[in-house]
């Protein structure tokens, strides 16, 4: 039942406009990062690692949160038209299954987004004249960033489920990304869900910022993820079907 519901959620996304956003926003952040790298190539002398600091600067700090918010808001936007929400909430499917199918669909798109960012990072590196392949460590940072991003996805699904505006949850994600940057700059990133993705991505750093502190990072991701998942399931169980 879970995978059937998940396929239905993925079908909603299949022919939607989110794929335009999926392609363009990481591309813009990569181009901006490459421009920064080329302007400062004299002082950025660590090749692939230096390029990483620039290409992840805008993506992790400003683009990722709103991008995930678009995915989540679109799923609920479909349900808020033509009484689709009524049909969803009265379907003979347990609420946890309905929610988890949405979350897993967003998780799949999030992973694809990270893979796309990795491809753009490789292409941009070769375009600016770097030889060989990126360090394998950057692949680990991409996957770790995806893990941190799941907490943001769970939070944005929660917001989009009771805020029926499409734009407002995206605006909240943008403000959250800014707050996440402020928290991480004060070494408080583990206490803000919007900071977890940029910590996992090792955004704008050449040395691993989580070296020796992976367990607190994983614990923070798990706590925030479980908190938002339980809040969403509880909300959906108690919310009324509205005309």
Please identify which residue in the block is written with the tokens 């403000």: 175
Where does 42-166 have alpha helices with state H? 48-58, 64-79, 84-89, 95-127, 136-162
Q: Helix, strand or coil for residue 16?
A: coil
Confidence at residue 215, expressed as pLDDT on a 0 to 100 scale: 92
Inside any domain, residue 174: yes
Inside any domain, residue 154: yes
Per-residue pLDDT 10s for the chain (243 aa) are 777 888 877 887 887 889 999 999 999 999 999 999 899 888 887 789 989 988 888 899 889 999 999 999 998 887 776 666 666 666 677 888 888 888 999 999 999 999 999 999 999 999 988 888 999 999 999 999 999 999 999 999 999 988 888 899 999 999 999 999 999 989 898 999 999 999 999 887 778 888 877 899 999 999 999 999 999 999 888 875 554
Cβ-proximal residues to 202 (8 Å cutoff; 6+ apart), any chain: 52, 56, 141, 144, 208, 209, 210
Confidence at residue 83, expressed as pLDDT on a 0 to 100 scale: 61
> What's the pTM?
0.89
Inside any domain, residue 243: no
Per DSSP, the chain holds a count of helices (H) and strands (E) of: 10, 0
In angstroms, the Cα distances linking 6 to 79, 172, 203, 210 are 15, 26, 31, 33
Domain span at residue 103 reads: 1-238
Confidence at residue 85, expressed as pLDDT on a 0 to 100 scale: 64
Inside any domain, residue 53: yes
What CA–CA distance (Å, rounded) separates 85 from 81? Answer: 7
Largest CA distance in the chain: 62
Q: How many domains does the chain have?
A: 1
Q: Helix, strand or coil for residue 242?
A: coil
């Amino acid at each position: 039942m879970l995978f059937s519901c998940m396929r239905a959620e993925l079908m909603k996304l299949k022919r939607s406009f989110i794929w335009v956003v999926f392609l363009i926003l990481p591309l813009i952040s990569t181009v901006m990062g490459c421009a920064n790298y080329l302007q400062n190539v004299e002082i950025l002398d660590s090749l692939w690692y230096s390029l990483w600091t620039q290409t992840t600067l805008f993506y992790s700090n400003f683009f990722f949160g709103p991008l995930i918010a678009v995915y989540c808001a679109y799923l609920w936007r479909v349900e808020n038209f033509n009484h689709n929400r009524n049909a969803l909430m009265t379907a003979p499917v347990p609420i946890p299954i309905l929610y988890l199918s949405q979350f897993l669909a967003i998780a799949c798109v999030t992973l694809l987004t990270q893979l796309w960012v990795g491809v753009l990072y490789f292409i941009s590196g070769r375009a600016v004249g770097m030889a060989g392949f990126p360090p394998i460590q950057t692949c680990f940072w991409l996957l770790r960033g995806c893990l941190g991003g799941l907490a943001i996805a769970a939070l944005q699904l929660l917001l989009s489920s009771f805020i029926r505006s499409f734009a407002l949850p995206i605006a909240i994600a943008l403000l959250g990304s800014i707050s996440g940057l402020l928290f991480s700059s004060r070494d408080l990133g583990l206490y803000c869900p919007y900071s977890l993705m940029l910590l996992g991505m090792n955004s704008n750093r050449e040395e691993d910022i989580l070296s020796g502190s992976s367990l607190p990072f994983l614990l923070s991701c798990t706590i925030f993820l479980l908190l938002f998942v339980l809040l969403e399931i509880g909300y959906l169980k108690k919310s009324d079907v509205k005309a």
